[in-house]
């Protein structure tokens, strides 16, 4: 038999053990024959196909083609190009594929294999995609790494190789139950120097650090519940492993210290530096190991984590006498010049603690404090300047006198006693009021017009999911199946032939409760209706009524709508169109479009859940002339639509939202939050159920479900917000944060919608403003901006929500403060002032000796800014009493500023 024919037979049979044996036994001439015919055959098989079709047509045969190329192609460059072909890069099991390819490379000379290893490393692409996808491995890395280890060749400089190795280490640690894996890693010594300069490594180290903290929390929780004490090695991060290996002598400690120091000098964004800051702190360096000069030079422009580290280490060096006076003065000046108030405050505090003889050389830095917008520090800085006056040189005295002109009269007079007359500076222009602009609503993608487009969209399903994408797929499936069922089935069948093959083995609850699984079942019902009916029957038999609590009421409508499409296809039926497919990105359906769709149905009744969803997606205002067309529809659904339009749609339900006091432990206030909806009278059962949101109505099966909810009732935002408030305690219990990124995205979508907004909306937005990640806090601020720009922001409710969530210890005040400050300067100062006048009295300490809340000083500073920009005058309960207290804390100084700003 021709060697290529035999090779192809074994590839298609996916018998790779025999294929490897056969290829290894070929003569050089037979290898050349295989190598010559293989590219043309692969091109014929894949010619003109999409990326999804390539995966479907090749499937597990990918490894076979890779084996044949690795064994039979001549030069290392040719093999590298073959293995990196777009069609052959992605394999389902990299470790198994690597083992097989390595088995056919053993006859190659060592120098050839070294050349191949180097070429494969150079062709690697940086790890991309979600954390889960990166943990699955970078295509081609396993083989390149195996060749590097086997041949001992020094790997070339490659950021992609080092970053992929770091993700692989994290994956191995996860597979190993969080226990150490680095000690016996054959690539560790090769790659350690590159770890500190390769792009992409920081992402892996940060993800690993998060994973380690999660494992440690779970282990501690388990121990608290009576379990065995956790393994001290379990949950150790990659950086923790490096430190441990250095302590045992497995790695040179100096390599880690020098590596961190060089990385700090390279600079970069905060997230690129943070893992190495963590490593440095874990190393617990000695004073002698601190690069004092380098750290001083990092202070002016370093990212926040790096600046804080440099500050801490320089203080330690100063205490040990290892920081010369000139570098101390340079450090104080650099900190005082930073835009962040916390570093300006740190400079003042550090300078105040220094002996006056040493501090005099740095006194000029106080001019930066007077020039900066940090009025809360002015009093302390003036006292410090007076103290240091005898030790300051003339240049420093002149600098301070020049900057002090903007100080209030009382402070200038105190400073003039030590520095001479200080004339008042020209009063600045009144602050410019910025015009508020909101981000535009997203655009809706066009409908899918062909089976090929549906197929590509299915393979490119996003995660977290986008409801609009799933809506487009569902609409296309229904319309294309009605137009020509045979054609779309023929297009989709190859992709679904290997899925859900044994229906009974897939009959577990998540396959009937997640939108991704139900969408896949819709395609299965269209392509293999018999197999789909078996799965539906098996799921019904195994259904557990006790799990019904997993579905929050609005999401039940999403699931019912998907299931009825499955049942439609299972019985071999079709309908011309879905009614509820949105016509705008908010989830609304244009009334004219809905009537046109119902007219296309003719005498056929629509799918019930689809019809219900369509009604809820109508806008609040509908042209009365459309009622005439609706009344002419010949179906029961047509009469129901006409009644809906005639009655003005769903009346606004009554929403209740409360936040309990901390420590109350009241059953109605789990985690301090309670929200409910009272439905209007005389609603049909399905609407009454939907508008009966009580705290016991359930929780999201998955947090990402929340992203669907704004588009379920896009004209009733406060009702949707009530359901979102209900799941916040559940999310907090799962993740330690009451919101995740999906909840933030849903909150922004909610703001783009329509209908009343109140306390439930305010609580949801306030919780999002406290998200741990700045990007998510910025997105939550967008939701506020959208509402404010449209004149719809419930400002008083927002202030109430912020105050009560902070008092309930649900959210930290400092995170929310930063977002409010940004909104104030962005043009929402009037709305922010309205919110703050509600929040401030609830957060002020009122009882004698009551502890001041963390972050209250910064919160009051934002209130001052908002009051000045809004030109506010009036009285805030409790503020005058607080302002009258003695002391110089930030809270008292900002209270006095606010009191002066709003007092007529």
Q: What is the pLDDT of residues 107-133, one digit of tens each?
A: 899 999 999 999 999 999 998 877 777
Same-domain pairing of 421 and 538: no
Domain boundary residue, one of 783, 803, 825: 783
Same-domain pairing of 748 and 836: no
**CB neighbours of residue 12 within 10 Å:** 10
Q: In this structure, is residue 571 part of a structural domain?
A: yes
CA dist 172 and 179 (Å) reads 9
Check residues 889 and 44 and name the one with the higher pLDDT. Answer: 889
CA dist 709 and 657 (Å) reads 18
Q: In this structure, is residue 889 part of a structural domain?
A: yes
Contact assessment for residue 328 and residue 350, using Cβ atoms and an 8 Å cutoff:
no
Same-domain pairing of 638 and 609: yes
- 828, two tokens: 């929402």
Residue 307's pLDDT is 93
Give the pLDDT mean for 294-305. Answer: 91
Is the pLDDT assigned to residue 512 strictly greater than 60? yes
Is the pLDDT assigned to residue 400 strictly greater than 80? yes
- Give the pLDDT band (50/70/90) at residue 568: very high
- Give the pLDDT band (50/70/90) at residue 571: very high
Angle at 562 between CA 558 and CA 568, to 5 degrees: 145
**Residue tagged 């050389």 (tokens):** 361
**CB neighbours of residue 89 within 10 Å:** 15
Domain boundary residue, one of 613, 647, 681: 647
- Give the pLDDT band (50/70/90) at residue 879: very high
Which range has the top average pLDDT, 294-303, 498-507, 699-708?
A: 294-303
CA dist 538 and 536 (Å) reads 5
Same-domain pairing of 455 and 543: yes
Query: Cis omega before residue 464 (within 30°)?
Result: yes
Same-domain pairing of 761 and 854: no
Q: In this structure, is residue 290 part of a structural domain?
A: no
In Å, how far from its chain's centre is CA 808?
A: 25
Q: In 3-state terms, what secondary structure has residue 844? A: coil
CA dihedral 344, 347, 352, 355 (to 10 degrees): -160
Q: In this structure, is residue 253 part of a structural domain?
A: no
Is the pLDDT assigned to residue 695 strictly greater than 90? no
- 281, two tokens: 């702190």
Q: In this structure, is residue 519 part of a structural domain?
A: yes
Is the pLDDT assigned to residue 219 strictly greater than 70? no
CA dist 258 and 270 (Å) reads 20
CA dist 240 and 170 (Å) reads 12
Query: For the purposes of burial, counting CB atoms within 10 Å of the CB of 109, is it exposed (0-12), middle (13-18) or buried (19 or more)?
Result: exposed
Is the pLDDT assigned to residue 5 strictly greater than 90? no
Same-domain pairing of 618 and 504: yes
Q: Length of the chain in residues, anyone?
A: 904
Same-domain pairing of 721 and 868: no
pTM for this structure?
A: 0.69
Domain range for 359: 324-427
Stretch among 290-294, 387-391, 797-801, 844-848 having the lowest mean pLDDT: 844-848
- The CA distances from residue 359 to 199, 325, 330, 382, 420, in Å, are 41, 9, 11, 14, 20
CA dist 513 and 552 (Å) reads 11
CA dist 877 and 50 (Å) reads 67
Give the residue from 279, 284, 173 showing the smallest Cα distance to 235: 173
Check residues 730 and 437 and name the one with the higher pLDDT. Answer: 437
Beta-carbon contacts of 16 under 8 Å, excluding residues fewer than 6 positions away, are: 10, 63, 64, 67, 100
CA dist 646 and 634 (Å) reads 17
Same-domain pairing of 661 and 729: yes
Same-domain pairing of 380 and 472: no
Q: In this structure, is residue 766 part of a structural domain?
A: yes
811-838: pLDDT as tens digits = 889 889 988 998 898 889 999 999 999 9
- 550, two tokens: 């997993």
Same-domain pairing of 331 and 456: no
Annotate 62-128 with DSSP letters as a single string. Answer: HHHHHHHHHHH--SHHHHHHHHTSTTTS--S-HHHHHHHHHHHHTTS-HHHHHHHHHHHHHTPPPP-
- Ramachandran angles phi, psi of 656, nearest 5°: -125, 135
Q: In this structure, is residue 274 part of a structural domain?
A: no
Same-domain pairing of 642 and 660: no
| Structural domains counted in the chain | 4
In Å, how far from its chain's centre is CA 30?
A: 53
- Give the pLDDT band (50/70/90) at residue 668: very low
Give the pLDDT mean for 21-35. Answer: 90
Stretch among 211-215, 516-520, 692-696 having the lowest mean pLDDT: 692-696
- 867, two tokens: 């009051």
Which range has the top average pLDDT, 8-17, 39-48, 833-842?
A: 833-842
H helices present in 497-618, as ranges:
515-527, 529-542, 553-570, 591-601, 608-616
- Give the pLDDT band (50/70/90) at residue 663: very low
Q: In this structure, is residue 522 part of a structural domain?
A: yes
Give the pLDDT mean for 278-286. Answer: 94
Is the pLDDT assigned to residue 177 strictly greater than 80? no
Contact assessment for residue 170 and residue 197, using Cβ atoms and an 8 Å cutoff:
no
Give the pLDDT mean for 329-352. Answer: 92
CA dist 513 and 531 (Å) reads 19
CA dist 69 and 39 (Å) reads 9
- Give the pLDDT band (50/70/90) at residue 211: confident
CA dist 102 and 106 (Å) reads 7
Annotate 258-310 with DSSP letters as a single string. Answer: HHHHHHHHH---HHHHHHHHHHHHHHT--GGG--HHHHHHHTTT--HHHHHHH
Give the pLDDT mean for 223-228. Answer: 52
Domain boundary residue, one of 647, 676, 697: 647
Residue 442's pLDDT is 87
Same-domain pairing of 400 and 500: no
CA dist 366 and 359 (Å) reads 11
Which range has the top average pLDDT, 423-432, 444-453, 672-681, 751-760?
A: 751-760
CA dist 439 and 528 (Å) reads 44
């Amino acid at each position: 038999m021709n060697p290529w024919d035999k090779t192809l037979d074994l590839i298609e049979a996916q018998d790779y053990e025999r294929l490897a044996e056969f290829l290894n036994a070929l003569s050089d001439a037979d290898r050349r024959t295989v190598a010559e015919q293989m590219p043309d055959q692969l091109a014929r098989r894949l010619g003109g196909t999409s990326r999804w079709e390539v995966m479907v047509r090749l499937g597990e045969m990918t490894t076979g083609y890779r084996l044949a190329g690795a064994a039979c192609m001549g030069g290392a460059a040719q093999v590298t190009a073959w293995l990196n072909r777009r069609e052959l890069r992605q394999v389902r099991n990299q470790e198994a594929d690597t083992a097989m390819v390595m088995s056919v490379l053993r006859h190659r000379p060592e120098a050839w294999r070294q050349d191949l290893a180097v070429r494969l490393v150079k062709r690697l692409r940086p790890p991309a995609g979600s954390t889960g996808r990166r943990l699955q491995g970078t295509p081609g890395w396993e083989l390149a790494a195996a060749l590097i280890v086997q041949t001992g060749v020094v790997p070339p400089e490659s950021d992609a190789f080092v970053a992929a190795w770091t993700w692989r280490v994290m994956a191995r640690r996860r597979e190993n139950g969080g226990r150490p894996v680095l000690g016996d890693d054959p690539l560790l010594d090769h790659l350690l120097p590159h770890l500190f300069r390769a792009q992409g490594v920081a992402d892996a180290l940060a993800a690993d650090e998060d994973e380690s903290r999660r494992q440690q929390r779970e282990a501690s929780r388990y121990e608290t519940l009576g379990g065995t004490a956790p393994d001290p090695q379990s949950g150790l991060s990659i950086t923790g492993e490096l430190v441990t290996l250095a302590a045992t002598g497995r790695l040179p400690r100096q390599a880690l210290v020098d590596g961190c120091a060089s990385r700090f000098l390279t600079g970069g964004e905060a997230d690129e530096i943070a893992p190495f800051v963590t490593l440095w702190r874990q190393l617990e360096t000695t004073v002698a190991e601190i690069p004092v000069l380098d750290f001083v030079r990092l202070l002016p422009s370093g990212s926040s984590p790096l600046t804080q580290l440099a500050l801490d280490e320089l203080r330690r060096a100063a205490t040990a006498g290892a920081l010369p006076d000139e570098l101390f003065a340079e450090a104080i000046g650099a900190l005082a010049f930073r835009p962040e108030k916390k570093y300006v405050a740190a400079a003042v505090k550090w300078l105040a603690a220094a002996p006056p003889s040493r501090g005099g050389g740095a006194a000029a830095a106080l001019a930066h404090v007077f020039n900066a917008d940090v009025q809360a520090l002015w009093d302390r800085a003036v006292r410090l300047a007076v103290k240091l006056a005898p030790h300051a040189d003339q240049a420093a005295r002149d600098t301070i006198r020049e900057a002090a002109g903007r100080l209030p009269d009382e402070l200038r007079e105190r400073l003039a006693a030590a520095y001479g007359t200080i004339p008042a500076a020209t009063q600045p222009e009144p602050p410019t009021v910025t015009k508020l602009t909101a981000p535009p609503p997203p655009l809706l993608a066009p409908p899918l017009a062909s089976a090929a487009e549906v197929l590509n969209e299915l393979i490119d399903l996003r995660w977290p999911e986008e409801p609009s994408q799933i809506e487009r797929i569902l609409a296309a499936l229904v319309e294309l199946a009605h137009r020509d069922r045979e054609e779309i089935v023929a297009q989709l069948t190859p992709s679904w032939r290997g899925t859900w093959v044994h229906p009974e083995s897939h009959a577990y609850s998540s396959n009937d409760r997640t939108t991704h699984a139900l969408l896949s079942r819709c395609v299965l019902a269209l392509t293999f209706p018999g197999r789909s009916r078996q799965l539906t029957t098996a799921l019904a038999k195994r259904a557990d009524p006790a799990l019904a609590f997993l579905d929050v009421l609005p999401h039940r409508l999403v699931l019912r709508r998907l299931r009825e499409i499955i049942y439609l296809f299972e019985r071999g039926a079709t309908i011309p169109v879905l009614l509820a497919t949105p016509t705008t990105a908010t989830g609304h359906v244009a009334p004219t479009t809905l009537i046109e769709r119902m007219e296309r149905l003719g005498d056929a009744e629509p799918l019930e859940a689809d019809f219900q969803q369509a009604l809820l997606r109508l806008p609040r205002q509908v042209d009365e002339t459309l009622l005439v067309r609706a009344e002419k529809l010949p179906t029961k659904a047509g009469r129901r639509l006409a009644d809906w339009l005639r009655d003005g749609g769903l009346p606004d339900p009554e929403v209740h939202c409360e936040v309990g006091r901390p420590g109350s432990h009241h059953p109605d206030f789990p985690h301090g939050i309670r929200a409910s909806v009272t439905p209007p009278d005389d609603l049909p059962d399905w609407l009454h159920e939907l508008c009966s949101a009580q705290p016991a109505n359930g929780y999201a099966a998955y947090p990402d479900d929340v992203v669907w909810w704004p588009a379920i009732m896009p004209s009733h935002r406060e009702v949707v917000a009530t359901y979102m408030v209900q799941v916040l305690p559940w999310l907090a219990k799962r993740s330690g944060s009451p919101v995740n990124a999906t909840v933030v995205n849903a909150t922004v979508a909610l703001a783009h919608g329509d209908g009343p907004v109140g306390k439930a909306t305010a609580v949801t937005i306030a919780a999002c403003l406290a998200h741990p990640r700045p990007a998510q806090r910025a997105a939550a601020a967008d939701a506020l901006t959208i509402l404010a720009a449209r004149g719809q922001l419930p400002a008083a409710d927002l202030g109430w929500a912020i105050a009560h969530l902070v008092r309930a210890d649900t959210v930290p005040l400092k995170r929310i403060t930063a977002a409010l400050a940004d909104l104030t300067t962005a043009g929402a100062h009037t709305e922010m002032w309205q919110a703050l006048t509600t929040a401030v009295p609830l957060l002020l300490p009122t009882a004698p000796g009551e502890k001041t809340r963390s972050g209250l000083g910064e919160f009051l500073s934002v209130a001052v800014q908002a009051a000045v920009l809004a030109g506010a005058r009036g009285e805030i309960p409790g503020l005058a009493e607080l302002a009258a207290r003695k002391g110089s804390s930030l809270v008292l100084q900002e209270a006095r500023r606010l009191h002066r700003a709003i007092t007529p």
